[in-house]
Amino acid sequence: MSKRTLDIEVLRYDPEQDTEPHFMSYQVPCEEDWAILDALNYIKEELDTTLAFRWSCHMMVCGSCGMMVNGEPVLTCKTFVRDLPKDVRIEPLENFPIERDLVVVLDDVMEKLQMAKPYIIRKDPPPENEEFNQPRSALYKFKQYTMCVNCMCCYSACPQYALDSSFIGPAVLALAHRYNIDSRDQGKSERLDILADHDGVWNCSFVGACSEVCPKNVDPAAALQQMKIDGAKAYWLQKLPGGKS
């Protein structure tokens, strides 16, 4: 198998030494079938053991290796060397503080995840001693949204989140939508107050970048627009005589 040498620039930041991040260059002899994650592992093992980055599964499931590669938020395990030019620039995901090198601080999104109540809420008890059947047609309504691996590439692509981090953001809202449209769930009204707020769906101006970069084709932008319609409907239904407040 032929090798190809890439000139890789990596944004480095040592919180104990640096006042701001800086680029370091590495020449990496890559195998043809390598992903960028393999090149990073080569750097760490052969060239510079101090480089810090997150990864785990190397198969698009864990969502931990999200980074900016040549300005695009991607999963580095899914981004192949053969598809890239000779010069490659790797940075930590944009719109998040840098903890160290390519590792970002995700605390903000982790807190927001709880606001979405991403679990099935029941008001009536589920059926006893029998399976809780769900027709496939009901599953297909939300299945796409279950594919999210929380890689946060969508937050990195979202200019709204970049400008105003109080925005709950694409992945969390899409996850809330996933439960809202699940036929087993009865918690839509509990999620509505937070999600239909200004920091919820109404802070989205439909740039659509979240869906364009999503490595799992989740389409959070679609979820947000559908939630806007739901939120508007609920608002006007409240206004009707006898409407619930």
Partner 1 sequence: MSRNPYVRPVSPTTWYMRNGRYIKYMLREVTCLLVGFYSFFLICVLAILAGGSEERWLAFLASQQNAFWLAFHVIALLFYLVYMTFDWFQLAPKAMPLQVGEQKVPPAFIVAAHYVAWAVVTALVFLLAGVF
- Angle at Cα 53 formed by Cα 170 and Cα 19, nearest 5°? 90
**Residue 133 within binding range of partner 1, rule CB under 8 A:** no
The mark string for 89-128 relative to partner 1 (x by CB under 8 A, - otherwise) is: -----xx-xxx-----x-----------------------
Instruction: Find the Cα–Cα–Cα–Cα dihedral 67, 68, 72, 75, rounded to 10°.
Output: -20
**Residue 208 within binding range of partner 1, rule CB under 8 A:** yes
Place of tokens 């707020």: 197
First to last CA, the chain: 66
Task: Indicate which single residue of 50, 110, 111, 159 sits in contact with partner 1 (rule: CB under 8 A).
Answer: 159
CA pseudo-torsion sign 71, 72, 73, 78: negative
Task: Indicate which single residue of 207, 233, 236, 237 sits in contact with partner 1 (rule: CB under 8 A).
Answer: 207
111: Cα separation from own chain's centroid: 14
Q: Which of residues 3-62 bind partner 1 (CB under 8 A)?
A: 13, 15-16, 18, 20-21
Q: Which residues lie near partner 1 (CB under 8 A)?
A: 13, 15-16, 18, 20-21, 71, 94-95, 97-99, 105, 136-137, 140-141, 157, 159, 162-163, 205-209, 211-212, 219, 221-222, 225-226, 228-229
